Chains A and B, each alone.
Chain A
């Protein structure tokens, strides 16, 4: 993190230049300033280009409906400085009625989809936005789901009606021909790929403009996998929401639980016992491997290779055997708890893990031989989907996709959490920024994760697995069976949930697909007031337009595959 003095200087600068008002330092120690709407663009431009340090990335942009806390809307811009390793949060207050916000698309390309999400979810009109449409909800949706006034569950709404005539007009807007723009030449063709297509790995729709087989434009249409994860959090207690996080990036299981529990622990000031920390790191790295294995499989399949998918899924199956032994679950273990983990390690875990670790290096070499060293594969992926570091930062790209551009930005090294500073591992990078570079980086990451798992296994400390902080953790089940007081506490905590301190807490971790951040806003009750989930896949797919234009339609699918996304991670 940047030192306090330079950060303080920056805040003073913002105060004098843009009338920014610094707020109380929240639980996550990220400086938060309120800024008037009319100075917003200036301030953000200044922060990106002139400030010291420069804030190169618009990391997140969303809002909080303050209807239950005095009215209005609070929009927050989360900026990230990679050069200075610093964060900054700018807040803008908007009225409830007809909120209007200037577009920052001109400052950061990544802002486009985030602003559409603001419009879709909160009904904030974005002034000067190039393409202001709903993004996650269908065009015909009524209301803005993340407003507090919007019902939380279907049973709170009247029965849904869709008369035939209305259905027809709605469907009419999905005709691919309607995307035909006035300036399009007669030889160009609109190809509608998806929502169900073997190359999109899920329900993603790409409206592609083709000249012959050459891509002129790609227009991704997302939201088919939207389940309202952020809205759901608002009626769950902090503990009961945990299993939902597993299903955000559904290939990375506990990797989603980690930023969530870390954010909540930061809010409540809970310290996690060492054994639980090491267990978390070990499981997280195993899930990084699991996620990368599915990527190997689907990406190889994108280029037409038939065998590697089966090999990668075979190894993943061995991994899940270990996972099942330790957590009882396979893909979605819901294993972490606020303050620790759910269960202690079972008997025989290290032997099982050992045999998996012994098998993996040869398997990774096999993938390497079948993909990264295969001349056909190299020819297919070299030079396609090239991303420069500047573009990557502008578009909010993170994780292996960013490291393939040559920037060794890994939060496990830059901002070690859960004791990552104690492990010896390298951050693989490549310089080309193309699909092949991304391939090589991810394959090497599997090897590095294996090293971390090995170290965690060797140095597993003994001790408790759950924090003793009684206010925020459940009593152990064994104790509830012995002691009436504990039983009462257990009953109350389970049925009503536990109130967490009011405040804001943001935590970002290095998930397999990139930076995964959870922003918890608490009003002191048992449910989060607002939970913002910033996923890596969302900006990655937004950048597809940039990566695919000018390539052939055969390249589109490998470019898509090389980004490594999960639909649930995009739509949440």
Chain B
């Protein structure tokens, strides 16, 4: 590659990074406003017009906090852990195609790449909980590890159905194959993916690792300031990633009449995000053993069934 190509690549990477951080910040604002709406409150409305500058105020506050490391913590791991979470999520975005001709990287193993990174993310929570050396954090960290293992299995299996239908691991080709969105062909797969996605991002009703009521913030009990902000950012970007992936894999990505592809992609992602917000305000949290039982006794068999049916039908389809 020539120098200009390198430059362009780096520039676009920087642009995407900046855009994503901005969206992540806006999501935190959006969630608070929408939750407030659903809960008969007003929500943040003081900083800037309609409170739009609230994320800026939050970040400024968190940055200006004392950089405190508890004396009993494992300093090295404690410092690294919060970075892992947003980093792995940001890396996943590289392969998400926004429209027909807008993406950062078109890996032929993109789906595996995304799944691998989402598995790596758990290290952030687990190590954070472990390094804090506090009992609540430890319980939260262990919960997150168990939860991640239990839910990425059905998630991966649910996605194999997509691979069978499209014949590719590349996200761009998967979208290209969706003249008919895969949600129609894979309704069960979609539901499994969505549920596991919420579980992977640790949001209600699956927010057991932080479970404020019993674990008092769980894995991030001992975190404050900018380190806490990293966990926070990671959660919102993770939410965005799951919504974007569900759009790409099941809702036909950029496909849609009249409007440009980017708009369709954004709209579909936004609807899913609103769904996540809505779920968060409506549902209580599951108990740890129920979460495990649900993952292994319902999600996994359902994913296997989905895979089996898809494979058998797919075989006939291709034969015929």
Interface residues in A167-208 by Cβ distance below 8 A to B read: 189, 191-192, 197-199
Chain B residues contacting A371 (CB-CB under 8 Å) are 284
Q: List 26 A-B contacts (CB under 8 A).
A: A189-B135, A192-B135, A198-B212, A198-B213, A199-B216, A213-B288, A300-B284, A303-B285, A304-B211, A305-B282, A305-B284, A305-B285, A310-B41, A371-B284, A374-B284, A376-B285, A376-B286, A379-B286, A380-B286, A380-B287, A552-B289, A553-B139, A553-B214, A554-B214, A554-B285, A556-B214
Residue B24 at the A interface, CB < 8 A? no
Return the contact of A374 from the options B35, B208, B283 (Cβ within 8 A): B283
Bound-state CA distance A556–B213 (Å) is 10
B285: nearest residue on chain A (CB-CB)?
A304
B-facing residues in A128-167 (Cβ within 8 Å): none
Number of interface residues of A (CB under 8 A): 31
Chain A 425-462: CB-based contact to B (< 8 A → 1; otherwise 0): 00000000000000000000000000000000000000
Interface residues of B (CB under 8 A from A): 35, 38-41, 135-136, 139, 204-205, 207-208, 211-216, 280-290
- Chain B neighbourhood of A553, CB < 8 A: 139, 214-215
B211 and A310 form a contact (CB under 8 A): no
Q: In the bound complex, do residue A307 and residue B282 qualify as a contact, i.e. CB atoms below 8 Å apart? A: yes
- Interchain CB contact under 8 A, A376 and B205: yes
How would you classify the secondary structure of chain A's contact residues: helix, strand, loop or mixed?
helix
Complex interface: chain A residues within 8 A of B283 (CB): 304-305, 374, 376
**Closest A residue, CB atoms, query B206:** A304
Let me know if B40 and A310 touch, CB within 8 A: yes
Known: A300-B284, A304-B204, A379-B290. A311 touches B40 (CB 8 A): yes
Q: Which residue of A lies closest to B135 (CB)?
A: A191
Number of A-B residue pairs with CB-CB distance less than 8 Å in the complex they form: 81
Per-residue B-contact encoding for A196-231, CB less than 8 Å = 1, 0 else: 011100000000000001000000000000000000
The residue in chain B whose Cβ has the minimal distance to the Cβ of A190 is B135
Q: What 1/0 mask marks residues of chain A from 303 to 337 whose CB sits below 8 Å from any chain B CB?
A: 11111001100100000000000000000000000
**A557 beta carbon closer than 8 Å to chain B:** yes
Q: Assuming A197-B216, A198-B212, A304-B204, is B288 touching A554 (CB within 8 A)?
A: yes
Give the distance to chain B from A214, nearest Cβ to Cβ, in Å.
10
Given A198-B213, A379-B287, A553-B214, residue A304 in contact with residue B207 (CB < 8 A): yes
Answer whether residue A510 sits at the interface, using C-beta atoms and an 8 A cutoff.
no
Known: A310-B39, A311-B39, A376-B205. A303 touches B288 (CB 8 A): no
Contact B214 A199 (CB under 8 A): yes
By a CB distance below 8 angstroms, the chain A residues around B290 are 379-380
Does A377 touch B at the CB level, under 8 Å? yes
In the complex, whether A100 has a CB less than 8 A from a CB of chain B is: no
**Cβ B288 vs Cβ A198 within 8 A:** no
**Contact: B284 with A213, CB < 8 Å?**
no
Chain A residues near B35 (CB-CB < 8 A): 306
Interface pair B286/A199, CB less than 8 Å apart = no
The verdict on A306 contacting B204 (CB below 8 Å), with A189-B135, A314-B40 known, is yes
Instruction: Tell me, yes or no, whether A555 is within 8 Å of chain B by CB.
Output: yes
Q: Is there contact, CB below 8 Å, between A554 and B284?
A: no
Are the C-beta atoms of B213 and A213 separated by less than 8 Å? Answer: no
**Which A residues contact B (CB, under 8 angstroms)?**
189, 191-192, 197-199, 213, 300-307, 310-311, 314, 370-371, 374, 376-377, 379-380, 552-557
Nearest A residue to B136 by beta-carbon distance? A191
Q: Give Cα distance in the complex from A304 to B213, angstroms.
A: 7
Interface centre among B40, B211, B283 (most CB of A within 10 A): B283
Given contacts A310-B40, A310-B41, A311-B39, contact A557 B282 (CB under 8 A): no
Q: How far is the CA of A56 from the CA of B3 in the complex (A)?
A: 89
Q: Do A555 and B287 touch (CB < 8 A)?
A: yes
C-alpha gap A370/B282 in the complex (Å): 7
Q: In the docked arrangement, what's the CA distance between A79 and B284, Å?
A: 41
Known A-B contacts: A199-B213, A305-B282. Give 5 more (CB < 8 A).
A199-B214, A213-B139, A306-B280, A374-B284, A554-B285
User: CB-CB < 8 A to A306: which residues of B?
Assistant: 35, 39, 204, 280-281
Find chain B residues with CB under 8 A from A213 CB. 139, 288
Q: Shortest beta-carbon distance, A295 to chain B, in Å?
A: 15
Docked complex Cα distance between A213 and B135 (Å): 11
Q: How far is the CA of A304 from the CA of B209 in the complex (A)?
A: 12
Q: Which residues of A contact B280 (CB under 8 A)?
A: 306
CA distance A305 to B38 in the complex (A): 13
Chain A residues with CB under 8 Å of B287's CB are: 379-380, 552, 554-555
CB distance from B195 to the nearest CB of A (A): 13
Cα distance A90–B257 in the bound complex, in angstroms: 85
A370 to B213, CA, bound (A): 18
Known contacts A379-B290, A554-B211: A307-B284 contact under CB 8 Å: no
| Across-interface contacts of A374 in B (CB, < 8 A) | 283-284
Residues of A within 8 A of B204 (CB): 304, 306
- Closest residue to A377 on the B side, CB-wise? B284
**3 closest pairs, A vs B, by CB?**
A304-B285, A303-B284, A310-B39
Give which listed residue, A189, A191, A304, A555, contacts B284 with CB less than 8 A: A304
CB-CB under 8 A from B286, the residues of chain A are: 376, 379-380
Inter-chain CA distance A25–B290, complex, in Å, is 57
A209 smallest CB distance to B (angstroms)? 12
In whole angstroms, what is the CA distance A198 to B213 when docked? Answer: 6
- Contact assessment for A557 and B288 in the assembled complex, using a CB-CB cutoff below 8 Å: no
Cβ contact of B213, chosen from A191, A303, A552, cutoff 8 A: A303
Report the minimal beta-carbon distance from B134 to chain A, rounded to whole angstroms.
10
* A189 cross-chain contacts in B, Cβ below 8 A: 135
Inter-chain contacts of A199 with B (CB < 8 A): 213-214, 216
Complex: how many Å from CA A376 to CA B280? 13
Known: A310-B39, A310-B40. A557 touches B214 (CB 8 A): yes
* Docked pose: A160 CA to B38 CA in angstroms: 51
Q: How far is the CA of A198 from the CA of B289 in the complex (A)?
A: 22
Cβ-closest chain A residue relative to B283: A376
Residues of chain B lying within 8 A (CB to CB) of residue A379: 286-287, 290
**Chain A residues within an 8 Å CB radius of B207:** 304
Which residues of the other chain, B, contact A380 by a CB distance below 8 angstroms? 284-287, 290
**Distance in Å from the Cβ of B106 to the closest Cβ of chain A?**
40
Contacts of A302 in B (CB 8 A): 213
Name A370's closest neighbour in chain B (CB-CB): B282
Q: Closest residue to A374 on the B side, CB-wise?
A: B284
| Structural contact, B213 and A307, CB atoms closer than 8 A | no
**Bound Cα distance from A510 to B8, whole angstroms:** 76
A301 in complex: contacting residue of B40, B41, B213, B216, CB < 8 Å: B213
Q: How far is the CA of A556 from the CA of B211 in the complex (A)?
A: 13
A38 to B136 alpha-carbon distance, docked (Å): 49
Cα–Cα distance between A197 and B216 once the two chains are bound (Å): 7
Q: Which residue of B lies closest to A371 (CB)?
A: B284
Least CB separation from B215: chain A residue: A553
- Shortest C-beta distance, A95 to chain B (Å), equals 47
Q: How far is the CA of A191 from the CA of B207 in the complex (A)?
A: 21
Residues of A within 8 A of B40 (CB): 310-311, 314
Alpha-carbon gap, A305 to B207, bound state (A)? 11
The answer to whether A198 and B39 touch (CB under 8 A), given A303-B285, A304-B285, A379-B286, is no
A376/B284 in contact, CB under 8 A: yes
Chain A's closest residue to B41 (CB) is: A310
Min CB–CB distance A191 → chain B (angstroms) = 5
Taking CB atoms, residues of chain B closer than 8 Å to A307 are: 38-39, 281-282
